[in-house]
Structures are given as structure tokens and as C-alpha cells.
């Protein structure tokens, strides 16, 4: 059994957000992006050809067509943006080149353009860098790149000069610049000062003139990059009813259309240019003279006749304008995904009539499509969208049969099997409507709010609607709610009826797939997977199993509450599915917009065919009842029709013979109106026929009279012409006689003049001949004189040459003698120089040997010192660790002493407070006992003794701290010096080990070569050649290297030692300075702390002195004062309480 294949057949919809998303391929074919493809659409024959996009693309961003209409360039955005060039003359739009930004990280190209000769391609990247990239695209060569200096101003458009391959124009917010490509780079040729102007578009009018449109509706003319003038836009006087309606809609908080009539698109053509100004309006301008333009036409998008109120169908922003190659058709695309066109061939003929755009193909959805449904008896497809419209399409004739816009958003749609009724779920309620001949009318409403899913039964006698998490089943005949199917805990995503309408299957976000009995309302089977939220469910062709897809990225086949088969997961999630009625294939839609064809029964492995379909997640998909077409809709607002065929290209054979009916519904009132209208039209026709016959008779009478008059006039004119002809003949005869006489007289005169001329010229010839003979004689004399002079000059020349040869020969002999002497001197000097060189070489060899021996001795001593230093380093490290532990212990002791000091200070303060309390009590009482004062003294004296002991301990600890800091600084210096020495020794050891390794590899190579020579022992010649090769390879090179590099290596070693010693000395000096500075800083800190401690001790002493004086004063007062013994019990109680307070404190 051959595998089933899906082929793109037709698509309804335009992809918005793509720059220049409409262009003409020829007079009848336009190219526009739709879904994830570019579509070539023939407007006359109504066929489409698909150019599929790249698989890894996240979406299109811009497109452009070459000036010869052969190549189409499309930019795709993603992690690495690319520009793909297609050949439109190829049947399937063959890919020519895929261009990228090279090593630069570019995510998207917002604008691209071909050069006039189609050789170069320019791309403009997205911000914040706003970079220009120029390619020689046929050779896949990146020629130049340029970044804009001001990244704050966004750039919107780049274009080539149509008269110059190397000149570019770039415009944006506060940007209008001209660039030229020369010497392998893009160079700026001119800049206009337009910082406060936001340019939205521009077009080239001539080699030096550019017209640009702004967001405030201004048309500015630039000449050679300089702003010259502004084209006046003649505004329409007053406000039309359309503008008033638009204002009403804007007041109703509808986010559509800009408030300022901005110019969003502009394009030049042979007579002038066309530009958009404001919503749904295009102005045509024609050139009046070299620099002037005049507005000639205003073309508008017409009102939508299928709207149920005031909508914004005519209030659309125009994104792209394009002309056909012969400039007979103007086409536009809007921000709501609609295509319009107007014929310009009748513009010149009917200049007084108002022009309106017409739909280029059909009216498309402008937002996400939420519902899709088909019927059995008619080739109709119903779709609903968030753009508040419901549309009925014919998938066989590829025509939009009906559509209507409503006030509420439509979430779901279901066609009755007869194709005469439609069920639509709106945000406020569920409506059952009739599909009339030219309208969709409601005849029953149900109180189901925001119904996301609804479906008619296959018999058409029932329908199911989702109300939250409840599935309600209604009767179509009585409109009663028969059943309520409860069980889902979350939103129900899809429902489907079985072929015999006895069961309904549903799936939801709660991860449940339920199979319901429509007679009893009970669940027959269930499958719950809480980790997965299902998005699509369907019965198999025999209704025995259930197929479901969800967020777990798998396709499951469920039977009797168990998962029978499961297609493994992939990176993209399945969002919808459809099963063929023949049971051979299952189609699934994914979140990336692709469609997959999977064999049925389901495979165990990942086996499917993937097709590029939509630019957004697939929301719904369905297969027609005859298995001929697959219909898919997506969030991108496109309806795609696929043809289901075998791999051999044949359609699938269906067991069912489906007959499509042609009946339509019409209301009685409409029919009566139409019959009445037909009768009126017939009466009008008869009247018009009578009037036309009468007018024809009158015209015949008038024409006959005119013919008679014309015939009489022609007869009179013929008579007059004959008489004039005879007069002309007589005049001609007279003129011929006169001409003959004149010619005879002229011949006589001419013959006489000829004779006179012959006589005069013969005399002149004789005189000239005599002159010629005299000149010849003079010439011969001159030749003889010149020959004599030449002979004398030759003789002189020969004598001079002989004298010169003799003189130069003598000079040559002298020079040869000098050369011989110089050669002898040179030979003597060379011999002396060779002797000097030999002596120098011997001296150098001796020095090298001495240096080598010294260096080896130094190496041995340094190795010994290195080993000793390593031992010392380990000992010093242990000492350092022990010292650090001591320092930590001392710091802990210091902290404890500080805490004790703070505690003692608190005790002193509490004592002071107690003394003050005692003073108050003493002032209040007249007598106190001397015994209590003695007790107080005894308690304070040990405290003072403890304070003095603690102070001495603090001073001792400070001295120990100073000594430990000094020892720590010295230890750090020694450690740093040892580390430096270790590093230098390690480097030298690495170098020596590397040399040893090199020598070992050298030896190994020599051994291997010798081992190879052993095989040639019986062949002396080859053995000799190999040994010579080894000798030349190893012995001579090493000798040469040793000879040439011995001096260099010794000198380098000496220099290296000197440099290393200087560096170590400098490093030690720097470290000494740093350690001295750190020591001074530490000493200063310790001094400051000592000063603060001394100050605190002095303050404590002062406070003690004051306390003692106060105690003496108290004693004196007590001695002077005397009171009766009645106050003694009170004083005793106070004295008894005071020690307790002291103890507590």
C-alpha cells in the first residue's frame, strides 16, 4: 500500500508584518507571503504556485523582487538571519542562493532591495546597530558592511538608485542619507539635516531626486541628498460621512488606525508617483514639468457591504504599493491582511469619476482563526476568527461564498451536514443561524457564553456545545437541552461525534480523554494523564480507538481506557489532528505551523513526513468526507487547502459516493422582494426597449437626411474639382513650353562659357610647366652639393674614431695593471683575515668551554641552594602557621580583655549611679553610720586594684602585639623572596627538561632511521645513500647549529642571568619599600589605639578621683551633722539595700 502525501493546493490569507509583501511577477500574476510560504497567484486563471520557506526559519521579515522580475529575495529571522533568493522562472521557485551576515550575529533583516541590474543585494538589519550589508549575491560574496553611527534613530528603508548600481538611499527617524559603493566599502556621500522628521518611506524619481513621506503626511523632495521643497497635499474640504463614522469608532475605544494621516507607502512610475495618505486612501501624482507635481487622482478602499455596522474595513493602513509591469494595474496590501487592486487603463478616460479599489482575490481573515467546520452535502468550509467575522468558503471553486462581520468575537463554528445552517459560539451567547443566499441570519440563541467548541452530529439532529467544563447536547428540532456531560475539571478543548452518533469523545486541559454515551449520558471509557493537557482528539476511521494529542509532544492511540500505541515525542508539540476516512493516514498540526502525515496504524518510531504550512500554531484541521482535501487553519489567519494524493500523484479512492446539492435558503420576504424587483425590471426593460426603438427610428431619419445633404455637397465639390483640374492642365502645358525655351537658351550659354574656360586654362598650364622645369634643375644642383658635404663628413668621422680608439686602448692597459695590483692586495688581505678568523674562533671556543663549565657549576650550586631553600621554605611555612595561630590566640585574648574592660566600665558607671543615689539619700537623711562608709570603701578598693592590674596586662599585650607584627613583616619578606626564587628555579627546570625532551625525540628519530637502514644491509648503494641522508639530516645540521648558535646561546644565557638578577634585586627593593610602608601603617594604627586607651585610662582616673573627693565630702558632712536616733532604722534599711544594688550591678 503506497503512502499518502499532502500537496499544497490553495491558500486564503496574507501574512502581515512583512515589508514589501506584494509585488507583480507579470500582468496577471502577483507574489505575496502567506503562511510559511510565498504564493504566486494568477488573478485570471485563479491558480496558485507555492514557494515554500526554510524549515529553520522563525518567520519572514521582508521580501523584494528584482527589476527584471526573475528573482525573489526573502529574509527570514531567527538566531542567524538569512536572505534566500528564488528563481521565479523555475516551476517550483528553485533556491538560487542563501545569504547570511557571515561571522556577525544578525537576527533579522527588516528591509532588502535588489540593484537595477539584479547583481547586487542590500540588506538592512534590525537595531540597535542598524547595519547595512551588501552582497554580490550570485557569487555568494559579502562585499561591504556599514554600521550607522547613531543607534538611537531607527532606520526603516533602504533602496538602490534605479539609474546607478552603486548609489543607495537610507531613511528613518531623523535619518536621510545617501551612500555610494566604491573601493570595496560603502561611503557616505550626503547627509540631510532632518533630526526632527520621521521618514516612513521614500522612492527615487530620477538619478538625483528622491521623494520621501513622513508620519505627519508631508511629501519632501530631495535633490542630491539635500532637502529642496515640499509637495503640497490638497486636502478635501469638510468632513465626509465616512470620516465621521471613523471618529465614532475611535471614540468607542477601537484600536484601529492612526490619528495623523501619515504616508506609509510611496512608489514611482512613468507618469509620476503614487502614495498613501491616511487610512485607505491612495493619491496619484503626475509630473507637470521638470520639478513640479500635481495630484490627479484619489483612490479609496470602498465600504464593506457585508458588515453588520460601522467597521474599520475601509479604515486600513496601506503597507505596500506596487504597479504591474505595463503600469495598467495598481495593487496594495493593508495591515489587516487584505489585497486590493484598481485598473489604471480607464483613469485617463474617466477623470471625473471617483475610483475605488476592488479585492484582488477574496476578503481574508485579519486575525487568528478559532473555528473550522465542513458539511457533507456541499463543498463548503466555515471559519470564524477573532476579527469578529464568520466566512463560508467553497474549497472546490476556491471562492468566498458568504461572510459577515459581527459585534462580538467568534470562538467556535459548526456547519450542519446539509450546509444550510451554521452554529457559532460568540462571547455572549451561542447562535444558530441560517445560511441564506446573501446573508447569515440568526433564528435561535442559546445562553452559552464563550463557547469554545461546538459540533453537529453526523445525522444533523443534535449538536454538542461546550459551556465551561460541561458538554451540553441540544436537539436541533426542539432546541431542548437533552444531556449535560459533566466530568472535566478544566476547559474542554475539542469534541467529536462517532459515525453513528451514539458516542462523543472529548479532551481537556485537565489531561482527561472521555468517551460519552449520547443516549444515557454516561462515560464509557476514560484516560487521564494529569501531566498532559490535551489539545486535539478524534475517532479512528472505524470508531474503535481514539487518537489524542497534547502538550506532552506525543500522539496517543487509546482503547478501553489504555494507551495502545504512542508515537515518540519530538521538539515541537502537536496542537490538532485529523484522521482520514479511509484509515490510511493521520494528519497532525504542530505549534510551529507545520503539518505532519503519519501512517496508520501508528508507527513505533518517529516516522512521518513534515510539510511547511503556517507561520503560527495550527488551531484546527479537518479532512473532507471524500478524502480528497485536507483543510488547516492557524493563528496566522490563513486557511490552507491541501490535496491528498498517493506518491504516484493519484487521488485517494473513497468508498462513499458523496453527491453535492445545489439548494440554497432564501426567506419569503426576500423572494417576494426579488420577484417584485424582477417584475419592475421587466417593465423597465419593455419601456426601455420602446424608447430605444423610437430613438433608433428618429436617429435613422436624422442620419438619412444627413446622408442626403452630404451626398449633395460631395457632388457639388466633385464638379468644382473637375473644373479646377482642367484649368491646372492648361497651365501645365504653358509652363512646359516656357521651360523648353529657357533650357535651349541655357545650353547655348553653357557651351560658350566652356570654350572660353578651355582657352584660359591651356595658357595657364604652359606657364606652370615652365616653372616646373626650372625647379627640377635647382633640385639637381642641391643634391650634388649635399653629396659632397656627406663625403667630407664621413672622412672626418673615420679619423676621429681612430684617434679615440687609440686613446681608450692606452687607458685600458693602465686599468688592467691597476686591477692586477688590487687583486694581489685583496688576496693578501683575505689570507690575513682568515688567520684572524681562525684565532678568533679558537678564542671563542675556549671562552665557550669556560662559560659552560662555570654555568654547570652554578647550576649545581643553585640546585643545592634550591633544595635547601625548599627545606627552609617548609620550615618557615610551619613557623608562619604557628605564628598565625599565636596571633589569633593573642587577638582573642585582646578581645576578651576589651570585653572585660567594657564590663568594668559598666561597673564603674553603676557605682557612680549608686554614689549619686547615696548622695541623695544622705541629703535626705541627717545621720549615716561610719561603718557603712567603711564597707563601701572596702568594696571599691578591690575593684580599683583589679582595674590597675588589667591596665598593666593591656600594656603588656600591646607590647607583645608590636613585636609579633614586626616578626610577621620580616617573615612575609622572607617568604616572598623564597617564592620568587622558587619561581625562577621552576622556569629554569622547565626549560632544561624541554631541552632534554627535544634531544630524546631527536635520538628516537635517529634510532628509527638507523633501524630502517638495517633492512638495506645487502644493498650497499641504497645503504650508503640512506646513511648519507641521515648524516646530512642530523650530524651536519647539529654541527652548524652548534657552530652558529653557540655564541648566541652563551650570550643569551649571560644576558638572561643578568636580567633575572636585576629583576630580583628590583623586586626585593620594591618589596622592602612596601613592607616598610606597611610596617609604618601598622605602627601608626597601634599608636592611635594606644593613645585612645591612655585617654580612656586617664578619664577613668579622673572619675575615680572625683568619686574619692565626693566620698570625703560625704564623710565631712556626716561628721558635722547630727540627728536623733529615730532616723537610724531608715538609714540601716538604705545601707542594707545599697550593697544588694551594688551586687546586682
Report residue 1082's pLDDT band, with 50, 70 and 90 as the boundaries.
confident
For 1121-1137, give the secondary structure using H, E and C: CCCCHHHHHHHHHHHHH
Q: Is residue 1038 pLDDT above 60, yes or no?
A: no
- Cell numbers given for 48: 496558485
**What single-letter DSSP state applies at residue 137?**
G
Mean pLDDT, range 274-298, rounded to an integer: 88
**C-alpha to C-alpha distance for 59 and 689, rounded to whole angstroms:** 60
Is residue 750 scored above 50 in pLDDT? yes
Average pLDDT over residues 806-814: 85
pLDDT digits 0-9 by tens, 379-426:
999 999 999 999 999 999 999 999 999 989 999 999 999 999 999 999
Average of per-residue pLDDT across 998-1007? 82
In this prediction, residue 323 carries a pLDDT of: 95
Local confidence band at 762 (pLDDT 50, 70, 90 cut-offs): confident
Provide the pLDDT for residue 924: 66
pLDDT (average), residues 340-348: 78
Please give the Cα distance from 868 to 811 (Å, whole number).
Answer: 82
- The candidate with the shortest Cα–Cα distance to 536, out of 551, 549, 517, is 549
Decide: 607 and 29 in contact? Cβ < 8 Å.
Answer: no
What are the DSSP calls for 562-601, one per residue? EEEEEEPP-SSPEEEEEE-TTSSEEEEEETTS-EEEEESS
Bin 991: left if φ > 0, else alpha if -120 < ψ < 50, else beta: alpha
Q: Report the pLDDT value the prediction gives residue 838, as an integer from 0 to 100.
A: 83
C-alpha grid cell for residue 348? 485617463
Predicted local confidence at residue 256, as pLDDT: 41
- For residue 1009, give every residue at least 6 positions away whose Cβ sits within 8 Å of its Cβ, in sequence order, or none: 1026, 1029, 1030, 1033
Average pLDDT of span 919-923? 73
Peptide bond into 601 cis (omega under 30): yes
Closest to 1034 in 3D by CA, of 1010, 1064, 1016: 1010
Average pLDDT of every residue of the chain: 84
- 82-87 and 523-528 beta bridge pairing: unpaired
Per-residue confidence band for 1117, with pLDDT thresholds at 50, 70 and 90: confident
CB 486 within 8 A of CB 470: yes
CA distances from 530 to 471, 489, 560, 572 (A): 20, 11, 18, 20
Could you tell me what percent of the chain has a pLDDT over 70? Answer: 90
For residues 662-683, give the mean pLDDT.
87
**pLDDT value of position 1133:** 44
Q: What is the 3-state secondary structure (H, E, C) of 737-805?
A: HHHHHHHHHHHHHHHHHHHHHHHHHHHHHHHHHHHHHHHHHHHHHHHHHHHHHHHHHHHHHHHHHHHHH
| CA gap 236, 354 in Å, rounded | 13
DSSP state string for 74-120: EEE-SSS-EEEEEETTSTT-EEEEEEE-TTS----EEEEEE-TTSSE
- Residue 619: pLDDT band by 50, 70, 90 thresholds? very high
Whole-angstrom CA distances from 257 to 18, 253, 314, 316, 659 are: 18, 12, 10, 6, 46
The closest of 636, 628, 686 to 652, measured between CA atoms, is: 628
11-47 residue pLDDT tens: 999 999 899 999 999 999 999 999 999 999 999 999 9
Calpha distance 556→531 (Å, rounded): 14
> How far is the C-alpha of 100 from the C-alpha of 105, rounded, in Å?
10
**What does the H/E/C string look like for 823-887?**
HHHHHHHHHHHHHHHHHHHHHHHHHHHHHHHHHHHHHHHHHHHHHHHHHHHHHHHHHHHHHHHHH
Most confident of the ranges 325-339, 793-807, 1122-1136:
325-339
Q: Please calculate the CA angle 598-601-606 and round it to the nearest 5 degrees.
A: 45
Predicted pLDDT at 930: 63
pLDDT given for residue 480 in this prediction = 93
- Find all residues with CB under 8 Å of 307, minimum gap 6, and list them: 313, 404, 405
CB crowding 1004-1041: b at 16 or more within 10 Å, else e: eeeeeeeeebeeeeeeeeeeeebeeebeeeeeeeeeee
Residue with C-alpha cell 453513528?
Answer: 500
pLDDT reading at 699 higher than 80: yes
Residue 221 bridge partners (DSSP): 211, 229
Beta bridge partners of 123: 112, 133
Mean pLDDT along residues 798-821 = 86
Task: Provide the pairing of β-strand 355-356 with 293-300.
Answer: parallel
Residue of 644, 639, 640 lying closest to 627 (CA atoms): 644
**Residue 114 CA to chain centroid, in angstroms?**
20
H/E segment holding residue 203: strand 199-204
Instruction: State the CB neighbour count (10 A cutoff) for residue 1076.
Output: 12
Count of C-beta atoms within a 10 Å radius of residue 426: 23
More confidently predicted of 160 and 969: 160
Segment 558-575, tens digit of pLDDT = 998 888 888 887 888 999
Is the model's pLDDT at 744 over the cut of 90?
Answer: no
**Cell 475605488, residue located:** 356
CA-based max dimension of the chain: 193
Confidence of residue 623 (pLDDT cuts 50, 70, 90): very high
Residues in the chain: 1145
Q: Which set of grid coordinates corresponds to residue 1128?
A: 537610724
Q: What is the pLDDT of residues 350-388, one digit of tens each?
A: 555 678 899 998 899 999 999 999 999 999 999 999 999
**pLDDT value of residue 1130:** 44
Dihedral sign for Cα atoms in the order 19, 22, 24, 30: positive
- The answer to whether residues 256 and 314 touch, using CB atoms and an 8 Å cutoff, is no
**108 close to 122: Cβ distance less than 8 angstroms:** no
Return the pLDDT at 84: 92
Contact predicate 53/36, CB 8 Å = yes
pLDDT at 877 over 70: yes
Residue 113: all three cell numbers together: 532591495
Which helix (H) or strand (E) segment holds residue 413: the answer is: strand 410-415
pLDDT at 93: 65
441-449 contact pairs (CB < 8 A, 24+):
441/667, 444/479, 446/474, 446/479, 448/472
pLDDT of 316 reads: 87
Q: What angle do CA 453, 459, 464 make, to 5 degrees?
A: 20
Q: If pLDDT is split at 50, 70 and 90, which confidence band does 1045 have?
A: low
> Cell digits for 1135?
545601707
Q: Are 274 and 285 spatial neighbours (Cβ–Cβ below 8 Å)?
A: yes
User: Is residue 972 pLDDT above 60, yes or no?
Assistant: yes
Give the phi and the psi of residue 995 in degrees, each rounded to 5: -60, -45
Cα–Cα distance, 538 to 494 (Å, whole number): 9
Task: Say which residues have a Cβ less than 8 Å from residue 894's Cβ, sequence separation at least 6.
Answer: 957, 961
What pLDDT does residue 527 have? Answer: 92
Burial 167-186 (b: 16+ CB within 10 A, else e): bbbbbbbbbbbbbbbeeeeb
Q: Using CA atoms, how far apart are residues 938 and 930, in angstroms rounded to an integer?
A: 13
Is residue 586 scored above 50 in pLDDT? yes
pLDDT at 810 over 70: yes
Amino acid at each position: 500500500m503506497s503512502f499518502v502525501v499532502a500537496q499544497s493546493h490553495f491558500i486564503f490569507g496574507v501574512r502581515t508584518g512583512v515589508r514589501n509583501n506584494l509585488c507583480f511577477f507579470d500582468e496577471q500574476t502577483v507574489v505575496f507571503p502567506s503562511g510559511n510560504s510565498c504564493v504566486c497567484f494568477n488573478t485570471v486563471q485563479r491558480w496558485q504556485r507555492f514557494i515554500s520557506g526554510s524549515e529553520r526559519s522563525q518567520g519572514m521579515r521582508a521580501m523584494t523582487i528584482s527589476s527584471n522580475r526573475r528573482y525573489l529575495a526573502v529574509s527570514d529571522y531567527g538566531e542567524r538571519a538569512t536572505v534566500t533568493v528564488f528563481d521565479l522562472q523555475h516551476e517550483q521557485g528553485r533556491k538560487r542562493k542563501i545569504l547570511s551576515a557571515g561571522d556577525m550575529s544578525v537576527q533579522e533583516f527588516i528591509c532588502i532591495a535588489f540593484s537595477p541590474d539584479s547583481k547586487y543585494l542590500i540588506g538592512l538589519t534590525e537595531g540597535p546597530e542598524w547595519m547595512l550589508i551588501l552582497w554580490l549575491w550570485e557569487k555568494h560574496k559579502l562585499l561591504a558592511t556599514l554600521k550607522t553611527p547613531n543607534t538611537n534613530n531607527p532606520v526603516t528603508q533602504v533602496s538602490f538608485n534605479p539609474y546607478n548600481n552603486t548609489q543607495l538611499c537610507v531613511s528613518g527617524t531623523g535619518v536621510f542619507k545617501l551612500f555610494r559603493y566604491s573601493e570595496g566599502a560603502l561611503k557616505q556621500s550626503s547627509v540631510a539635516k532632518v533630526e526632527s522628521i520621521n521618514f516612513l518611506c521614500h522612492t527615487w524619481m530620477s538619478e538625483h531626486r528622491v521623494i520621501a513621506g513622513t508620519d505627519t503626511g508631508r511629501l519632501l523632495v530631495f535633490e542630491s541628498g539635500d532637502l529642496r521643497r515640499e509637495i503640497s497635499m490638497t486636502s478635501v474640504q469638510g468632513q465626509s460621512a465616512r470620516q465621521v463614522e471613523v471618529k465614532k469608532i475611535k471614540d468607542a475605544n477601537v484600536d484601529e488606525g492612526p490619528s495623523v494621516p501619515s504616508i506609509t507607502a510611496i512608489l514611482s512610475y512613468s507618469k509620476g508617483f503614487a502614495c498613501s495618505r491616511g487610512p485607505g486612501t491612495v493619491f496619484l501624482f503626475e509630473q507637470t514639468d521638470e520639478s513640479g507635481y500635481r495630484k490627479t487622482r484619489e483612490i479609496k478602499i470602498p465600504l464593506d457591504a457585508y458588515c453588520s455596522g460601522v467597521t474599520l474595513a475601509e479604515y486600513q493602513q496601506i503597507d505596500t504599493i506596487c504597479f504591474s509591469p505595463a503600469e495598467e494595474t495598481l495593487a496594495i496590501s493593508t495591515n489587516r491582511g487584505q489585497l486590493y487592486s484598481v485598473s489604471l487603463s480607464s483613469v485617463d478616460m474617466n477623470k471625473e469619476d471617483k475610483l475605488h479599489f476592488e479585492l484582488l482575490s477574496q476578503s481574508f481573515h485579519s486575525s487568528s482563526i478559532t473555528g473550522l467546520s465542513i458539511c457533507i452535502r456541499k463543498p463548503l468550509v466555515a471559519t470564524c476568527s477573532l476579527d469578529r467575522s464568520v466566512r463560508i468558503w467553497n474549497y472546490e471553486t476556491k471562492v468566498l461564498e458568504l461572510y459577515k462581520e459581527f459585534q462580538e468575537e467568534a470562538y467556535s463554528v459548526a456547519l450542519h451536514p446539509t450546509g444550510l445552517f451554521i452554529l457559532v459560539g460568540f462571547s455572549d451567547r451561542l447562535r444558530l443561524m441560517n445560511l441564506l443566499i446573501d446573508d447569515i441570519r440568526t433564528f435561535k440563541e442559546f445562553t452559552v457564553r464563550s463557547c469554545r467548541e461546538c459540533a453537529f452530529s453526523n445525522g444533523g439532529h443534535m449538536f454538542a456545545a461546550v459551556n465551561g467544563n460541561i458538554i451540553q447536547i441540544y436537539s436541533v428540532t426542539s432546541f431542548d437541552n437533552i444531556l449535560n456531560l459533566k466530568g472535566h475539571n478544566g476547559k474542554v478543548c475539542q469534541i467529536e461525534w462517532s459515525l453513528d452518533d451514539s458516542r462523543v469523545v472529548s479532551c481537556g486541559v485537565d489531561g482527561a480523554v472521555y468517551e460519552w454515551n449520547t443516549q444515557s449520558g454516561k462515560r464509557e471509557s476514560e484516560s487521564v494523564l494529569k501531566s498532559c493537557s490535551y489539545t486535539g482528539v478524534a475517532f479512528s476511521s472505524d470508531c474503535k480507538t481514539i487518537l489524542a494529542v497534547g502538550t506532552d509532544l506525543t500522539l496517543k492511540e487509546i482503547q478501553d481506557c489504555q494507551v495502545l500505541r504512542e508515537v515518540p515525542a519530538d521538539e515541537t508539540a502537536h496542537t490538532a489532528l485529523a484522521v482520514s476516512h479511509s484509515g490510511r493516514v493521520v494528519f497532525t498540526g504542530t505549534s510551529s505551523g507545520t503539518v505532519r502525515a503519519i501512517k496508520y496504524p501508528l508507527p513505533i518510531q518517529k516516522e512521518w513526513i513534515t510539510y511547511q504550512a503556517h507561520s503560527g500554531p495550527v488551531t484546527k484541521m479537518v479532512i473532507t468526507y471524500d478524502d480528497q482535501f485536507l483543510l488547516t487553519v492557524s493563528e496566522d489567519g490563513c486557511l490552507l487547502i491541501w490535496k491528498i494524493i498517493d506518491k504516484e500523484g493519484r487521488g485517494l479512492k473513497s468508498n462513499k459516493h458523496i453527491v453535492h446539492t445545489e439548494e440554497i435558503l432564501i426567506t419569503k420576504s426576500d423572494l417576494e422582494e426579488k420577484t417584485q424587483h424582477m417584475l419592475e425590471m421587466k417593465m423597465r426593460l419593455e419601456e426601455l426597449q420602446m424608447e430605444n426603438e423610437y430613438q433608433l427610428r428618429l436617429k435613422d431619419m436624422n442620419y438619412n437626411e444627413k446622408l442626403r445633404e452630404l451626398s449633395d455637397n460631395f457632388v457639388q465639390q466633385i464638379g468644382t474639382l473637375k473644373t479646377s483640374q482642367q484649368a491646372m492642365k492648361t497651365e501645365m502645358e504653358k509652363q512646359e513650353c516656357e521651360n523648353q525655351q529657357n533650357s535651349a537658351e541655357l545650353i547655348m550659354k553653357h557651351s560658350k562659357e566652356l570654350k572660353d574656360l578651355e582657352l584660359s586654362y591651356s595658357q595657364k598650364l604652359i606657364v606652370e610647366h615652365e616653372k616646373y622645369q626650372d625647379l627640377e634643375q635647382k633640385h639637381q644642383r642641391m643634391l650634388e652639393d649635399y653629396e659632397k658635404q656627406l663625403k667630407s663628413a664621413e672622412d672626418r668621422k673615420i679619423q676621429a674614431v681612430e684617434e679615440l680608439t687609440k686613446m681608450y686602448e692606452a687607458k685600458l692597459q693602465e686599468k688592467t695593471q691597476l686591477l692586477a695590483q688590487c687583486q694581489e692586495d685583496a688576496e693578501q688581505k683575505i689570507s690575513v683575515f682568515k688567520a684572524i678568523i681562525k684565532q678568533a674562533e679558537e678564542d671563542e671556543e675556549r671562552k665557550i668551554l669556560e662559560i659552560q663549565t662555570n654555568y654547570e657549576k652554578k647550576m649545581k650550586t643553585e640546585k643545592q641552594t634550591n633544595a635547601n631553600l625548599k627545606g627552609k621554605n617548609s620550615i618557615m611555612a610551619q613557623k608562619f602557621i604557628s605564628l598565625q595561630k599565636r596571633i589569633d590566640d593573642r587577638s582573642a585574648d585582646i578581645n576578651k580583655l576589651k570585653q572585660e574592660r567594657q564590663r568594668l566600665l559598666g561597673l564603674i558607671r553603676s557605682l557612680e549611679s549608686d554614689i549619686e543615689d547615696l548622695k541623695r539619700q544622705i541629703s535626705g537623711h541627717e545621720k549615716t553610720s561610719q561603718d557603712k562608709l567603711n564597707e563601701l570603701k572596702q568594696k571599691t578598693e578591690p575593684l580599683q586594684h583589679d582595674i590597675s592590674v588589667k591596665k598593666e596586662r593591656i600594656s603588656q599585650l600591646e607590647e607583645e602585639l608590636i613585636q609579633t607584627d614586626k616578626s610577621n613583616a620580616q617573615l612575609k619578606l622572607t617568604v616572598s623572596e623564597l617564592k620568587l626564587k622558587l619561581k625562577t628555579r621552576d622556569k629554569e627546570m622547565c626549560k632544561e627538561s624541554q631541552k632534554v625532551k627535544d634531544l630524546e625525540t631527536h635520538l628516537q628519530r635517529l634510532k628509527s632511521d638507523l633501524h630502517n637502514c638495517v633492512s638495506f644491509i645487502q644493498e650497499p648503494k641504497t645503504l650508503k645513500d640512506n646513511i648519507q641522508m641521515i648524516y646530512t639530516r642530523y650530524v651536519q645540521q647539529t654541527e652548524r647549529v652548534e657552530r652558529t648558535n653557540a655564541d648566541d646561546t652563551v650570550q643569551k644565557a649571560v644576558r638572561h642571568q643578568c636580567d633575572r638578577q636585576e629583576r630580583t634585586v628590583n623586586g626585593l627593593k620594591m618589596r622592602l619599600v612596601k613592607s616598610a610602608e606597611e610596617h609604618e601603617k601598622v605602627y601608626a594604627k597601634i599608636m592611635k589605639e594606644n593613645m585612645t586607651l591612655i585617654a580612656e585610662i586617664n578619664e577613668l582616673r579622673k572619675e575615680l578621683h572625683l568619686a574619692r573627693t565626693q566620698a570625703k565630702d560625704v564623710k565631712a558632712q556626716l561628721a558635722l551633722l547630727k540627728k536623733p536616733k529615730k532616723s537610724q532604722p531608715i538609714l540601716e534599711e538604705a545601707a542594707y539595700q545599697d550593697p544588694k544594688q551594688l551586687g546586682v550591678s
